[in-house]
Structures are given as C-alpha cells and as structure tokens.
Homo-oligomer: A and B are copies of this chain.
Amino acid sequence: PPPRVPAAGALRRRVLGCFLVSGWSKSTGTRRHGAGRGPRRGLAAGVVMRMLGAPLGLAVACALPGAARALSTLPSSQRGLSIHLDTIPRLLKCIDACNHLGDRREEDIVPLVIHGDTVGEVFEETASLLASSGVFKLSDGVGAGARAGSGPWLSLAPDLAGAPAEQVTEAVAALTAGLRQEGVVTGWRDELVAVSPSFGAPPVFEVERAAYPLLGVRGYGIHVNGFTRDPSAPGGLQLWVATRSKQKQTWPGLRDHIVAGQISGGLSPEETVVKEAEEEAGIPEALAREARGTGFVSYRGVDEQGRLKNDCLFCFDLELPRDFEPQPVDGEVDSFELWDLNRVLSLLEGDVEFGEPYKPNCALVVLDFLIRHGVLPPSHPGYLELVSGLRATGQR
C-alpha cells in the first residue's frame, strides 16, 4: 500500500501508551524513551501508570525514588508547574481549532493565482461569485495549459491579467463596493490592504480591509506576549492576560493578548506593535519599542463565517516592569490580569475553572511563548507535533 498518515487521534493514543509503558528509570532519574528499555522498576511503574491513567499514575511514579529525583532536577523554566504526560496531547487541540476545515474538504479549495503566484485561497462558491463579476476568471483545471493533478484555479480576467496594480485595485474596488451594497462584505473600514505573493513584496493589487478575508488572501498580524519575570513564580514567569469586552462583535469575553492587531496601512510589524500598544493598552512608545520579534505562528482553516482563513502572526515578547500595569484604553478590553503559568496552562488545556478560553489564534502565540521559554518538556509525547503545528503553513 502507498504511504498514509495515521489518524492523529490513533497516533496520539499509541505514543501515549508507549511513553506510559516506558515509564521512569532510576538510573538517570527522568522519563525514558523507547518501549521496554528501562530497568524493571521503571517498567513496573509504567504498568501501574497505565492502569491508573496518566495524572494519578504520575503521582504513583513520583513516589518512587528515581522519579522524585527527576522532579527536583527540572530546569527552572519547568519548576512548580503542573505538567503531566497528557498535558501536550490536550494542548494539541489548540492547533486543531485553528487548522480544521469543518465540513469542507481540501478539494473544495480554489487557489487565487496572480502572475503565477498563489496569493489567496477560497472555497468553490466564493470562486464562482468572484468570477461572475468579470474581474476574476475561474479556470477548470483541465485541457491545454493545465498542470497534471491540479484542480480549478482563479485568476485575473484576461483584460486585467497584464494591467498595472493600480488598475487591478480599481477593478477590485468596484467589485467589493458592489458586494458591500449586497451585504456580502460587512464592517467596511475604508482602508486598503496589500495583496502580495510574499510579505513585504510589491502588491499585485490592494483591497479594502473588510473584503480581504473574502478573497482568502494571507493576513498578517502582530501579537505581543506581555510578561514579567519572577523567580518565585511557577516557571519563573507570569503572563498578562486580556479579557475582551463583552460588547465586541467577535469573540466577546474571550482571553486575548495585551496587544494584538492586523498589519495594514503600510506599517511594519514593529510599527504596528508600537501603534497598537498605545491604542489598546496604554503602553508608552519607549516601552513598546522594547518588544522583541521572536518568529511567527501560522494557520489555515475555516473561520467563524465559514471562509478559509490563512494567517501569519508575528510573535513578540515584551517584558514589562513588575510595577507596570497595562490599561484598557479603547474599550476593546474589559481588564488586564497578571496570571501565573499554571493558570495559563489550565486555560489552554480546556479547563473551565478560569472562565472563558483564549481566542483560538491567541492560544497558538501563547503556546509558542511557552515552548520558546522552555516550559514544555521535549521528552513528553506530542511535543514535536505541537511545535510543528504552530507553523502549519510555510511563509515567505
């Protein structure tokens, strides 16, 4: 049979079972990989663990001398944290939440191809809607010029295919204005967003910000992890958590970053951080400029309106002085609270004890923060899958 990828759930169960059986080793005092390799004591502990289930089993294993030594020699980034063998498998649900297609299939997705580059992706019915305007053209993916194995694709209509970007922008503006009148595009911003084959490259056209999700073009945002260092806190860190206003149209009441926003208006990621920090959390420019870009997370899945979302979020870390408190400025946020990492982990794991969960894409940026700061143990099952899942789509 040809290669296949096992169902994620089945794989996770298999891996978890293996880790539990492999158990603990007295010789080195930490968890061991490789089924059945540990000394008998480790194996016995593993069997007990599997019989009792992971969290309780962990407690049993902790009673053994080797395990006790293991816990006392964790790096400071993991000390005092409540992390079990089923923690990462639970966190993996955050990846799924941003990367599922709902009841749609990969085959329903039509790429938007401009000058040979894929600049967006839409579902079939949106492709038909856009093609009916005369601005775009839907090719059926068969016949002369079609690539073997490729399906239909959307491109500019022939009379626009060689036109300068400004002319395409005008044609798209007429289209989106019509869709606004028909109520298809809502929340008009009167602000243009660049559509490019890669971030920062010259745009092939520009489109009203409220309409860009309809075209399935990549969105770029910034998210800032505001944190403080405290050696006495679990893992040595505390994270500022925002609670979104209950009046917000999207995700009311959910947890958020202290600073986050879409990159638009020709601003750079760093400039967007400074602008949003002032507007959303009253963070002065001099402090906001200390935010450090630390990579990105990306995801692709259906959004709450059933459209295909393909986003890339630049991740920033901003260490805040212990005596600084962000302030709700623009009414988008009800409150800011400084949380310890056990509480953050509980929320990400789906625990309802601390109320509303994180807005789904914020969860990815927080997970990236936890991984970069050494909070999650590389030896735990699901670690590589979790780290992989944070950048589900490649970027240029």
> Which residues of A does B touch, CB under 8 Å?
1-6, 11, 14-15, 18-19, 28, 30-35, 37-38, 73-77, 111, 113, 116-118, 141, 145-147, 149-150, 153, 194, 197-203, 263, 266-271, 274, 285-286, 289-296, 312, 314, 317, 371-374, 376-379, 381, 383-385, 387-388, 391, 394-396
Specify which of B117, B266, B285 is in contact with A34 (CB 8 Å cutoff).
B266
Bound Cα distance A372, B197 (Å): 26
7 contacts between A and B (CB under 8 A): A3-B117, A14-B201, A33-B267, A149-B149, A268-B379, A292-B373, A292-B374
| With contact pairs A14-B201, A198-B385, A312-B384 given, residues A3 and B35 touching in the complex (Cβ less than 8 Å) | no
Greatest chain B CB density within 10 A among A73, A268, A271, A377 is at A268
Residues of B near A295 (CB, < 8 A) are 371-372, 387
A378: chain B residues within 8 A (beta carbon)? 268-270, 293, 296, 314
Q: Which residues of B contact A271 (CB under 8 A)?
A: 28, 30, 32, 379
Nearest to A74 among chain B residues (CB) is B289
Protomer copies: 2
Q: How far is the CA of A12 from the CA of B261 in the complex (A)?
A: 27
Expressed in whole angstroms, the Cα–Cα distance for A292 and B374 within the complex equals 5
Contacts of A11 in B (CB 8 A): 197-198, 201, 396
Residues of chain B contacted by A113 (CB below 8 angstroms): 1-3
Contact B15 A201 (CB under 8 A): yes
Minimum distance in angstroms from A116 CB to a CB of chain B:
5
**Closest CB-CB distance, A368 to chain B, in whole Å?**
9
| A385 CB contacts on chain B under 8 angstroms | 198, 395-396
Closest to A371 in B: B295
Which residue in chain B gives the minimum CB-CB distance to A392? Answer: B394
CA distance A118 to B289 in the complex (A): 46
Contact A75 B28 (CB under 8 A): no
Please, how many angstroms separate the alpha-carbon atoms of A224 and B284 in the complex? 36
Given known contacts A199-B384, A292-B373, is B2 in contact with A153 (CB within 8 Å)?
yes
A376 nearest CB neighbor, chain B only: B293
Are A116 and B18 also in contact (CB < 8 A) when A376-B293, A396-B384 are? no
A30 partner residues in chain B, CB cutoff 8 A: 268, 270-271
Report if A266-B149 is in contact (Cβ < 8 Å); known contacts: A200-B18, A293-B374.
no
- Closest CB-CB distance, A30 to chain B, in whole Å? 6
Known: A201-B15, A384-B396, A385-B396. A117 touches B4 (CB 8 A): yes
Q: Is the Cβ of A14 less than 8 Å from the Cβ of B312?
A: no
C-alpha gap A15/B74 in the complex (Å): 44
Interface pair B3/A200, CB less than 8 Å apart: no
> CA separation between A293 and B285, bound complex, in Å?
33
Q: Which of A4, A118, A201, A290 has the most CB of B within 10 A?
A: A201
Residue from A6, A18, A113, A293 with most neighbouring chain B CB atoms (10 Å): A293
A394 to B203, CA, bound (A): 30
Docked pose: A381 CA to B150 CA in angstroms: 31
Query: Chain B residues with Cβ under 8 A from A75's Cβ?
Result: 289-292
Contact of A116 among B3, B149, B263, B373 (CB under 8 A): B3
- Residue from A2, A15, A18 having most chain B Cβ neighbours under 10 A: A2
> CB-CB < 8 A to A141: which residues of B?
2
- Hey, which chain B residues are within 8 Å of A3, CB to CB? 111, 113, 116-118, 150, 153
